[in-house]
């Protein structure tokens, strides 16, 4: 099986940039705990701090606002739980955790855990048909009882359907009521213009492996004045917020990738967006009843497109997403049903359901996510087989 593979699952993880592999590989052969005081430690410390500065510069943050973590899940947990605990400690009335319906499970389940174990009250902010949180919806939820609101979390751009949220507006609304806001920007950084300071948010999650950096390396950008209680206790690294020996090579790889991805983002967004539009157009020409879910991608939000340029999320009526995935995989095309998998069982996407889709539509969806290695040939390979794949999947029907 040496046939070429068309990898269209960049939203799950994207290949590391060559420069990041090189920088990280070089760092892997150097010894040094960044907390040590001797020469080796100082050298590691320098690598880490330069990496921190490069990341900060790329995303409009100050170096002291960069809290290094193991990735998106840890950053989301730290933000949601840490902010909740700190806010509640300051005022015991603050129990409401406001999260949007289309959050990643790292945010949703953190909020639910707080409700089950820490006396929090979770309020799920509704989204519109495109999967977007309207600032009015947040304002209404906060206005009802601002003094009991602990924290707000709304993702910058949705991982499943690609819809971009008006984060600046949402941050302004949250701050009008004196409530801190976190955003999971895992899908946004490196492709959309993300500026931490300009966005106004108090905390922002980014991760390496979604933008060409290493796995297991991420950041929580955390405003200097924003109190957070730690999840991990120990050596008091990272502003006492996140203990643990720093992974110097990973930080070096992450910084290299963030810097490059952000620098190349405008050009790459245009290229990938063009390929995506081509892909969607060709799929719909072959399968006329295929429906593009989420924002149509023609608008602008905070200086960038209103939909992630690499995201093509489509529903194929009468098909089971699992069937489509398997048939495409057999043709060497790798994509995703775009939904949460635990035992590998595809559950109907909570994102699509929140957008008002019925369960059959939710189960009959596929996410193609394009990235920095995607070419026109990839688009052609999907176009060539999508008709027969959908036809066959339709014959197999839906299992319920």
Active site residues per annotation? 341
By the rule CB under 8 A, 105 interacts with another protein: no
Residue found by looking up tokens 């999320």 in the block: 313
Q: Which is nearer to another protein, 296 or 387 (CB)?
A: 387
How far apart, in whole angstroms, are the C-alpha atoms of residue 385 and residue 40? 55
By the rule CB under 8 A, 2 interacts with another protein: no
Stretch that binds another protein, among 38-46, 76-84, 172-180, 338-346 (CB under 8 A): 338-346
Please enumerate in sequence order all residues whose Cβ is within 8 A of that of 143, keeping only pairs 6 or more positions apart, or say none.
177
Shortest distance in whole angstroms from residue 203 CB to another protein: 30
# residues contacting another protein (CB under 8 A):
20
Q: Which is nearer to another protein, 196 or 316 (CB)?
A: 316
Shortest distance in whole angstroms from residue 396 CB to another protein: 4
With vertex at residue 120, the alpha carbon angle to CA 119 and CA 126, rounded to the nearest 5 degrees, is 155
By the rule CB under 8 A, 346 interacts with another protein: yes
How far apart, in whole angstroms, are the C-alpha atoms of residue 187 and residue 261? 12
Q: For residue 96, which of 144, 133, 157 has the smallest C-alpha distance?
A: 144
Q: For residue 213, which of 376, 371, 45 has the smallest C-alpha distance?
A: 371
Binding test (CB under 8 A) with another protein, winner from 258, 352, 362, 393: 393
Q: Which is nearer to another protein, 65 or 322 (CB)?
A: 322
**Residue 382 DSSP one-character state:** H
Binding test (CB under 8 A) with another protein, winner from 314, 325, 382, 386: 325
Shortest distance in whole angstroms from residue 216 CB to another protein: 21
How far apart, in whole angstroms, are the C-alpha atoms of residue 171 and residue 298? 23
By the rule CB under 8 A, 392 interacts with another protein: yes
Footprint of another protein on residues 23-52 (CB under 8 A)? Answer: none
For 70, 135, 253, the CA distances from 349, given in Å and listed in that order, are: 26, 23, 33
Stretch that binds another protein, among 28-36, 54-62, 117-125, 317-325 (CB under 8 A): 317-325
Binding test (CB under 8 A) with another protein, winner from 330, 375, 380, 387: 330
Binding test (CB under 8 A) with another protein, winner from 326, 376, 380, 384: 326
By the rule CB under 8 A, 400 interacts with another protein: yes
> How is 75-94 classified by DSSP, letter by letter?
HHHHHHHHHHHHHHHH-TT-
Shortest distance in whole angstroms from residue 112 CB to another protein: 16
Q: For residue 243, which of 74, 32, 72, 57 has the smallest C-alpha distance?
A: 74
For 86, 146, 149, 192, 294, the CA distances from 127, given in Å and listed in that order, are: 28, 21, 19, 21, 11
Enumerate binding residues for another protein (CB under 8 A): 322-323, 325-327, 329-330, 342-347, 392-393, 395-397, 399-400
């Amino acid at each position: 099986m040496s046939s070429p593979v068309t990898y269209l699952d960049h939203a799950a993880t994207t290949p590391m940039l060559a420069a990041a592999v090189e920088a990280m590989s070089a760092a892997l052969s150097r010894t040094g705990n960044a907390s040590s005081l001797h020469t080796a430690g100082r050298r590691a410390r320098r690598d880490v701090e330069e990496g921190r500065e490069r990341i900060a510069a790329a995303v409009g943050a100050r170096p002291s606002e960069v809290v290094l973590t193991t990735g998106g899940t840890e950053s989301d947990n730290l933000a949601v739980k840490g902010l909740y605990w700190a806010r509640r400690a300051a005022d015991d009335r603050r129990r409401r955790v406001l999260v949007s319906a289309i959050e990643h499970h790292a945010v949703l389940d953190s909020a639910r855990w707080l409700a089950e174990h820490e006396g929090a009250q979770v309020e799920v902010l509704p989204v519109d048909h495109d999967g977007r949180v309207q600032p009015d919806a947040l304002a209404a939820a906060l206005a009802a009882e601002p003094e009991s609101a602990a924290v707000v979390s709304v993702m910058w751009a949705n991982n499943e359907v690609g819809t971009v949220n008006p984060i600046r507006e949402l941050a302004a609304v949250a701050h009008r009521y004196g409530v801190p806001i976190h955003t999971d920007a895992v899908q946004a950084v490196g492709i959309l213009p993300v500026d931490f300071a300009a966005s106004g948010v108090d905390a922002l999650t980014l991760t390496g492996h979604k933008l060409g950096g290493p796995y297991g390396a991420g950041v929580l950008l955390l405003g200097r004045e924003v109190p957070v209680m730690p999840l991990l206790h120990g050596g008091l690294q990272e502003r006492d917020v996140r203990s643990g020996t720093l992974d110097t090579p990973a930080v070096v790889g992450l910084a290299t990738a963030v810097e490059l991805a952000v620098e190349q983002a405008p050009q790459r967004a245009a290229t990938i967006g063009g390929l995506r539009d081509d892909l969607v157009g060709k799929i719909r020409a072959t399968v006329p009843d295929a429906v593009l879910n989420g924002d149509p991608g023609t608008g602008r939000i905070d200086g960038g497109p209103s939909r992630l340029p690499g995201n093509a999320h489509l529903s194929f009526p009468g098909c089971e997403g699992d069937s489509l995935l398997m048939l495409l995989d057999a043709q060497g095309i790798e994509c995703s049903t775009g939904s949460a998998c635990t035992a590998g069982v595809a559950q109907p996407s909570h994102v699509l359901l929140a957008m008002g889709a019925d369960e059959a539509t939710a189960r009959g969806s596929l996410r193609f996510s394009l990235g920095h290695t995607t070419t026109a040939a990839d688009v052609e390979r999907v176009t060539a087989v999508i008709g027969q794949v959908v036809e066959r999947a339709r014959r197999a029907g839906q299992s319920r």
